[in-house]
Each structure stands twice: as structure tokens, then as C-alpha cells.
Amino acid sequence: MTQPSFEKSSTLPSPLMVVSHLSKSVQDASGTLHILRDIDFHLAPQQSLAIVGASGSGKSTLLSIMAGLDTPTQGTVWLGGMDMFAMDEDARAAVRARQVGFVFQSFQLLGNMTALENVMLPLELAGLPNPRAAAKDMLVRVGLGERLGHYPKVLSGGEQQRVALARAFVVKPALLLADEPTGSLDHASGERIMDLMFELNKELGTTLVLVTHDLKLAARCDQAITIEAGQVKG
């Protein structure tokens, strides 16, 4: 499949990601369930996008497909000029390791590893040099320089999410996907996490995709799309 073409100019860089006519359907006891219907948009490098919608609207499924963790029924996703679904799972996993970071509502930290070891892990998996020094620097950047040797169980929710942010950003991904990253936090902690996420987004030039039901948070992004019953509204 040929990548969709977009007009190029000095102010319109080539898209980092193209979501092209994406649909997702599954079969259940009642017949065919249409989760996503003909989703179509593109993201420029360093752009921030909010995907907004009620629970069950399909926004988390869309995020999973954008990451290549789930497969569409129709359509495809281009990342950095590569058709994600022309690859096998091993190739998609390699692309994710090089170019994609994740932040989840439930933090997804490894409980048997310290904060430092959790942040070192993606660097080690990618074979990058000096993982300990790079992980320490990133934890200092997110305000956890005194917590390097602490395990997740002794960290607050806000601290755990800062470790997760450090882990996501430490490999300097081209794309960061965040699924309700403040959903498990109190309001004040959530505000601090989002301030930090947008700061890192700008500093590192990462494209940010944020799934949220919070319209105030979505308004901070460069662009927002609303998913309703599996379709882009409006």
C-alpha cells in the first residue's frame, strides 16, 4: 500500500503518523460489533493530539492500533513512513522499541525493580549506551533524584506516574501514547503530571497522543478529536 500523500511546505512537515481509513470490528454472540469506523487523520512531528470520548467509545482501541498492539479490520497506520500492518509482529515490536513510548493510567511499573531499574529497562532492551546514567538523569528531571532506589510500593501514585513518565521519555521516542495518564491520581497530582508531560513533550520534540475524557486537559493539546460510537464526531 502506498502511503497517503500530503502537500509539503516549509510550514507543513511530512506527517510522523498517518491513520488511514481505520476500522475495527469483532464478532460476538449478537453478530458484528463495530468498534471503530473509518478513522482518518495525521499527526505532524512534535504535535500534541487529544483523543476524547466517553467510556466504550473506542478511543483506547484506537490507541492500541496506533501502537501496533492491536490490528485493524480495515485501513492501516503509517509511522515514520512505515506501514505498521505490512510488518509482522516482531517487526512492529522493533519499531515500538525504537520510536514509541507509553504511559498508562495504572502506571505498569515492575514491582520487583527500583525506580532507577524501571527507567533503565527500555534503554537496556534497546541496547543504548550508559543506561544507568541516562535513567538517573531523567529521574532527576522529573523530581525523583532522591527516590532512585525506592520500589514502586513505597512511592505515592504521583511519584509512580513520574517514574512511568521518565521510563517513557528516557529513550526519546518520536511518539508518546498516553492512556488516561491522570485517571488514578488526585486532582493536584494529575495537574503536576500533565504539566510535566507537556514540558517534556516540548523539550524532547516528542509527538504526544493523549486519550482522555477530560475536556480541560484536551484543550491544552494542539489538536483534539472526539470519538463517538467508534467514529470521529464532526
Average pLDDT in the chain: 89
Work out whether strand 82-83 and strand 31-43 pair parallel, antiparallel, or are unpaired.
unpaired
Is 48 in contact with 207 (CB distance < 8 Å)?
Answer: yes
What is Dmax (Cα atoms) for the chain?
Answer: 54
Q: Is the pLDDT of residue 6 over 60?
A: no
Q: How confident is the model at residue 3 (pLDDT cuts 50, 70, 90)?
A: low
Q: Residue 223, exposed/middle/buried by CB under 10 A (0-12, 13-18, 19+)?
A: middle
The pLDDT of residue 9:
42
Instruction: Give all domains of the chain, ordered by start, each with its CATH number.
Output: 43-71+86-232 (3.40.50.300)
Residue 126 vs residue 218, higher pLDDT: 218
Residue 85 vs residue 185, higher pLDDT: 85
Q: Is the pLDDT of residue 198 over 60?
A: yes
**Global pTM value:** 0.85
The pLDDT of residue 13:
61
Let me know how long the chain is. 234
The pLDDT of residue 98:
84
The pLDDT of residue 2:
60
* pLDDT per position as a tens digit, 66-115: 999 999 999 999 999 999 999 999 999 988 888 898 888 888 899 999 99
